[in-house]
Amino acid sequence: MKVIICGAGQVGSNIAHYLAMEDNDVTVVDQSPTLIGKLTDTLDCRGVAGHASHPDVLKEAGAEDADMLIAVTYTDEINMVAAQVAHSLFNVPTKIARIRSQSYLAPEWQNLYTRENLPIDVIISPEIEVARAVMRRLTVPGATDMIPLCGGKVRLVGVRCEEDCPLVHTPLRQLAQLFPDLNIVVVGMVRDGKSLIPSADDQFLPGDEAFFVVDEEHMGRALTAFGHDETEARRLLIFGGGNIGLFLAQQLEREYPWVNAKIIEKDETRARHIASQLTKTTVLCGDVRDQELLMEANVTSAETIVSVTDDDETNILGALLAKRMGSQRAVTLINKALYEPLLNNLGIDVVVNPRNITVSQILQQVRRGRIHSVHSLREGFGELIEAEALETSPLVGEPLRDVKMPAGVLLGAIVRDGQVISPRGGTIVRPKDRIVLFAASDSVRKVEKMFSVRLEFF
């Protein structure tokens, strides 16, 4: 597949990394020759230095025979014009654009994005997606990550194994013996900042982060097995009243009206604006690193603080200060990947990375075959994939023990007629089953082929 990526920032470079690693024909366009040079030096991709919305630049990038354009520059207008030029002049089939300004995304202007007006096939709004990701983590106390799959029937859950975790030093092969009726499959582990694909003989150690796929009905028991039985927060403190903080507060007011939420926003004008948009949430104006203000906000009784300002250092310091003053749990937004491995040791409970969330949304549109959703767990680690099994898939019709699975692929769950099946050696996959699996980065292309429609199918 031939893909043009407009923007060589964090998101653009990560998308280029994923796609180039899978032997796609990737060209990256950016105004900065320095960024282009760094990418082409480290990845098997072409680079074009220039303005991403200029027709001559897109032509040089190969737009005339491109299959997809992904516009993720820092400017909404450039992303929108690049998509328009790709459609009108070069007839590029698929256009994906990142749009941040909420003025462009208001429901009253939804007719803007049609083939007759502004032909963008998929719009990615990072702020909305991040707010949803934070919300998912808040609904599962104790989890570092939570992703619903198969219409909510299955969940991917990340948890940290503490010293008192009942499963510490337990080989994974014994999980089925200890919990025979618990539909759970461990698909990944992170130890000392390094991602691991576990084998049956691997054990959990204190400090490990475990990722497992579980039947939604069994999620509570699974969390308890890992030593997490926290209750949902009813007192919440949000640091930062930007789009993410506002979306989060609005969603809480709509869906969880019993939660007592407060927002601290530094900018007085912005604080007044978000206060006018909310009905139940208290808005305070000031610096989240001000101890007196945190006392006024009653941080000592806040069960969870969510730090989502536009500055990583402020998010980290504000979260650490809140926890020292008595808050039980800290969810922190971090843009710089360099900080992420350091935060667990500092006491930050949950880290939210906007880049990974945005990349996952875009990969979902790029993946081929009967793939319904894709989620990037960690940079360079692999992807959690939800796909539909076809009659021509090599998975179908034989016991799983006889299927030659690609290296680095683990089946997490099978959903058939609304029922969740935990895959075992004797399990036989049927056509139209919904499959949840984890694939290491270098195995993703093989998984795509497993779920692609072959010619003999027609």
pLDDT at 260 (0 to 100) = 93
Assess contact for 214 and 155: CB atoms under 8 A.
Answer: yes
Give the per-residue pLDDT at 369.
Answer: 65
CA gap 246, 139 in Å, rounded: 18
Tens digit of each residue's pLDDT (9 = 90 or more) over 326-336: 999 999 999 88
350-361 burial: b if 16+ Cβ within 10 Å, else e: bbbbbbbbbbbb
| Average pLDDT for 403-422 | 90
Percent pLDDT > 90 in the chain is: 50
Provide the pLDDT confidence category of residue 420 given band limits of 50, 70 and 90: very high
pLDDT tens for each residue of 223-238: 988 988 877 788 999 9
Structural domains in the chain, sorted by start: 2-124 (3.40.50.720), 130-226 (3.30.70.1450), 244-355 (3.40.50.720), 357-451 (3.30.70.1450)
Q: Is 418 left (phi over 0), alpha (psi -120 to 50) or beta?
A: left
pLDDT exceeds cutoff 90 at 126: no
Nearest to 273 by CA among 252, 289, 249: 249
Residue in the structure block whose two tokens are 């680095």: 408
3-state helix, strand and coil shares in percent for the chain, rounded to the nearest 5: 35, 30, 35
- pLDDT for 200: 86
The answer to whether 187 and 211 have CB atoms below 8 angstroms apart is: yes
Helix (H, G, I), strand (E, B) or coil at 356: helix
- Res 422 pLDDT > 50: yes
For residues 96-114, give the mean pLDDT: 87
Of residues 18 and 323, which shows the higher confidence score? 323
Phi, psi angle pair for 232, to nearest 5°: -65, 145
Of 26-40, 144-158, 264-278, 443-457, where does mean pLDDT reach its minimum? 443-457
What pLDDT, on a 0 to 100 scale, did the predictor assign at position 211? 92
Contact between 1 and 21 under an 8 Å Cβ cutoff? The reply is no
Of 286-295, 427-436, 445-454, which range is least confident?
Answer: 445-454
Max CA pair span of the chain:
70
Helix, strand, or coil (residue 263): strand
pLDDT at 177 > cutoff 50? yes
Instruction: Please name every residue paired with 276 in a beta bridge, in sequence order, or none if there are none.
Output: none
The residue ranges of DSSP E strands in 255-342, in sequence order, are: 260-265, 282-285, 304-307, 329-333
What mean pLDDT is reported for the chain?
89
Asked if the model's pLDDT at residue 16 lies above 80, the reply is yes
pTM over 0.85: no
Structure confidence at residue 458 (pLDDT): 28
